[in-house]
Amino acid sequence: TIKKQGAWVAQSVKRSRSQGPGMESHVSEEFASPSAPPPLCYPLAVFFRRYLFFKDSYLIHLFHTFTGLSIAYFNFGNQLYHSLLCIMLQFLILRLMGRTVTAVLTTYCFQMAYLLAGYYYTATGNYDIKWTMPHCVLTLKLIGLAVDYFDGGKDQNSLSSEQQKYAIRGVPSLLEVAGFSYFYGAFLVGPQFSMNHYMKLVRGELTDIPGKIPNSTIPALRRLSLGLVYLVGYTLLSPHITEDYLLTEDYENHPFWFRCVYMLLWGKFVLYKYVTCWLVTEGVCILTGLGFNGFDERGKAMWDACANMKVWLFETTPRFTGTIASFNINTNAWVARYFFKRLKFLGNKELSQGLSLLFLALWHGLHSGYLVCFQMEFLIVIVERQAASLIQESPTLSNLASITVLQPFYYLVQQTIHWLFMGYSMTAFCLFTWDKWFKVYKSIYFLGHVFFLSLLFILPYVHKAMVPRKEKLKKMG
């Protein structure tokens, strides 16, 4: 879950402050932290490139399995048996049940039940680095594996182009499943990738220079460097902008405008620890070649196959849907591919979207804050689409929105609303227990719920009043 994926950054920064005030100690402690192995995976990636890239597949699978198990043992000790058990049972499900709907449903039920049981028995009121952190990543991997294996047994003409890309035609061996599951560059915090993509890496196909190791060192270092920039920013700001302050009497005693501004700034800043984590990990994937995504129309190699962040879009978009499209990309793509689109039989896009967000909330954990956060996301996206449709279809609003001189003002207003209510949603996500998030929401009069629920009911009437009948008929036609 993303809260746990960012926890190694937050915990390491806290530890580093206890060692001294210098920035050098902050950054060096981050790299030395036992709960922060992604930077330490770079030497493993270099070794793989230098000695194993074109070697026999069984050697590559063994290397990935051994290094992943070592990382698991280093962080969680004997609790690595949780991942071993689920991988072994998943392999048996594939072999014994075959390419059947029963195998897919069994996988969904078993893997999610095991994860949720883990959350239940290990839950505390704090963010802890526990075996459930990598296990939530593994859960999605194994479910995706089962669905792709199921698709591999269908007639290719009955599959969409996306399903054809990911469908597994062969029968994975236990060693292949283990190597895929324990790949060191993604075992702890992701990103998600398919078995087919992993097997391309094993076969030496993920390179921009056929027959040679990928020319990916510079792209990998760029993502690592960008991740370190966010790490430094988080380290500098974390003493001054904390979620704990939201729970203090001092916060409640400040004026309403101050409480809103603080929530806005915190909402932007709190995501930096996740951005750091994903950028650093993406660099490892790029270095191995797993990040290779073919060539663009100009023939330039693309290294974004494992990108979990679109940094420029994340920093500049004034829309909630823009943040969703730029943040935690691979997990969102996984949910779209293996859950949302599989609910097409319901015949209701909003219902499918709501169930997908419910699945995401449960995948993150059993605390009420996750449900509230994703409920807010669902509400905000619906209202944002209504507002965009209204502005586009109303001649008056469309003309007003196109006034060039007012564009900076519109952008500022949009960004203010955007990050204020991103912070509002993230409050429930990060505080996650009912007593905490309810207290903060009460202190700002449930502003987010009042604002967006009001718009949800008002906008249809505004649309009816401001959109000419001919525009409505054109839309219906």
Which residues belong to the active site? 328, 364
Single-letter residue type at 27: V
The total of other beta-carbon atoms located within 10 Å of residue 156's CB is: 11
Q: What's the half-sphere exposure (Cβ side, CA atoms, 13 Å) at 195?
A: 30
Single-letter residue type at 146: A
Integer angstrom CA distances of residue 289 from 48, 334, 381: 10, 21, 35
Query: How far is the C-alpha of 88 from the C-alpha of 102, rounded, in Å?
Result: 18
Query: How far is the C-alpha of 394 from the C-alpha of 400, rounded, in Å?
Result: 10
Single-letter residue type at 247: L
- HEC states along 409-428? HHHHHHHHHHHHHHHHHHHH
